[in-house]
Amino acid sequence: MKIIITGASGYVGSVLIPELSKANHELLLVGRNNQNLKKKYPKLNTCDYSDIIKSARNFDILINLAVINNNSNQSLKNFIKVNKNFLFKLVELSKLAKIKYFFNVGSFLQLNPNDFTFYAISKREGTKKINQSTGIKILNIYMPYVYGKKWSQKLKILNIVPFYLSKKIFNFISAFYPTVNINKLSNFLNSDFKNYKEKNFYLYDKKNKNVVYIFFSQLFNILFSVNVILIFGWLFILIYFLISLERNGNPVFVQKRIGKEKKVFNLLKFRTMSQDTRERATHLINETKVTKFGKFLRFFKLDELPQIFNILRNEINFIGPRPSLLSQQKLIKQRDNKKILSIKPGLTGYSQINHIDMSNVNKLVDYDHYYLINQSLIFDLKIIMKTFLGIGFKDNVNK
């Protein structure tokens, strides 16, 4: 393929270009200073932005890496100038040069609506503006911290040690933050991306393959569960006894749920509703079906206590998307499409601390997906802290 890379002199360009060169793509590197590009990449074709229309005519893809990053100490005006206005100009130049695809590369930072850094604001505005363009296929590619065969930013110190050693150190660090290997972007370009129908594409390393992440996550699951049983075992017995007095069936309610890779498992809860209640999502159940003691249990989330045993049985994590009912086919399908079912569900999660329940499937899936791509020990810790502070505590039933 014939590929243009703008902003090629930056770090992402420095790790992407060797990968694309190995795949024998015809590359054209574009930057503000063509002489510097020629010195850095003497064997590749280069030009400055004024020559794009002439030099890049009928190329297949333009990958835009030109950006003012969030570590730059500049005004919002300058961020807007580059990350919005110049971005739009590049799209217009691409259309004039009859380039088929425009790949707008951005960071996960701009996906967070609560991030009001100049970078995030300008990138969101720029992406919104070019998405309104017609006459060229635009794909927004989002990535977290990018790494290849060298390290940047705060990890530059790793470049002084042998790569095999720095990789082992990085494997430990990457358990704490979302990351992506540049190979994932080059592999995407080598795939049949032309059949990809969505406007957005997300590249990230899966944490369920990171040994360090798995170890600490499982360690927390076990320590938390065991301590709850040891400290609050008496509470389990008391709640079980009080529910028994209501003569409303088994105090422990077993419900079929969808787990990792769509595997069905039995979710355990204390019974809070009358025995004749139909199995359906909580927001669809009338409040009158909830028992008096059940309201108390649901308010303080004590009905979820038996799920400690689901954690110990390795069916769920403490942190993860809430598992869906078998009947929630729309939710299951959307989660499956976004690979959310590739990770274990949880007792609490990102959606819950943001007060998102199953009444809004699209929004729930968006929040679950945001957790999936940002999954890391630091992100999990933030969710744990907010959960223990009672954020997202209350359960919603139909009134």
Residue 396 in any domain: the answer is: no
Q: Are residues 186 and 141 in the same domain?
A: yes
Q: Are residues 199 and 216 in the same domain?
A: no
Q: Are residues 314 and 216 in the same domain?
A: yes
Q: Are residues 215 and 201 in the same domain?
A: no
Q: Are residues 248 and 290 in the same domain?
A: yes
Residue 394 in any domain: the answer is: no
d(CA 104, CA 93): 14
Mean pLDDT, rounded, of the chain: 91
Residue 393 in any domain: the answer is: no
Q: Are residues 173 and 196 in the same domain?
A: yes
Starting at the edge strand that comes first in sequence, how are the strands of the sheet with 200-202 ordered? 45-48, 26-31, 2-6, 61-64, 101-107, 137-143, 200-202
**pLDDT band at residue 40, thresholds of 50, 70 and 90?**
very high
d(CA 56, CA 6): 11
User: Of 184, 205, 226, at which residue does a domain stop?
Assistant: 205
Q: Are residues 197 and 234 in the same domain?
A: no
Closest to 14 (Cα-Cα) out of 32, 37, 35, 34: 37
Residue 314 in any domain: the answer is: yes
d(CA 337, CA 331): 10
Q: How many residues does the chain have?
A: 399
Q: Are residues 198 and 281 in the same domain?
A: no
User: Of 172, 205, 238, at which residue does a domain stop?
Assistant: 205
Closest to 342 (Cα-Cα) out of 382, 308, 369, 362: 369
- Residue 191: domain span: 2-205
Q: What tokens were used for 312? A: 């110990």
* pLDDT at residue number 4: 97
pLDDT value at 395 more than 60: no
Residue 46 in any domain: the answer is: yes
Q: What is the CATH number of the domain that holds 9?
A: 3.40.50.720
Q: Are residues 197 and 223 in the same domain?
A: no
* pLDDT at residue number 398: 54
Residue 351 in any domain: the answer is: yes
pLDDT value at 393 more than 60: no
User: Of 205, 236, 270, at which residue does a domain stop?
Assistant: 205
**Percent share of the chain, pLDDT over 90:** 77
Determine the average pLDDT of the residues in 115-125. Answer: 95
Give the residue, 91 or 392, on which the prediction is more confident: 91
Q: Are residues 285 and 368 in the same domain?
A: yes
* pLDDT at residue number 394: 54
Q: What is the DSSP letter of 279?
A: S
Question: 82 with 32: CB under 8 angstroms?
Answer: no
d(CA 252, CA 27): 63
Q: For the chain, what is the domain count?
A: 2
Q: What tokens were used for 183? A: 């190979």
d(CA 391, CA 398): 21
pLDDT value at 67 more than 70: yes
**Percent share of the chain, pLDDT over 70:** 95
Q: What is the pLDDT of residues 278-300, one digit of tens each?
A: 665 565 565 677 888 988 998 88
**pLDDT band at residue 69, thresholds of 50, 70 and 90?**
confident
pLDDT value at 30 more than 80: yes
Q: What is the pLDDT of residues 207-218, one digit of tens each?
A: 988 999 999 999
Residue 399 in any domain: the answer is: no
* pLDDT at residue number 349: 94
Q: Are residues 255 and 142 in the same domain?
A: no
Q: Are residues 193 and 262 in the same domain?
A: no
Residue 398 in any domain: the answer is: no
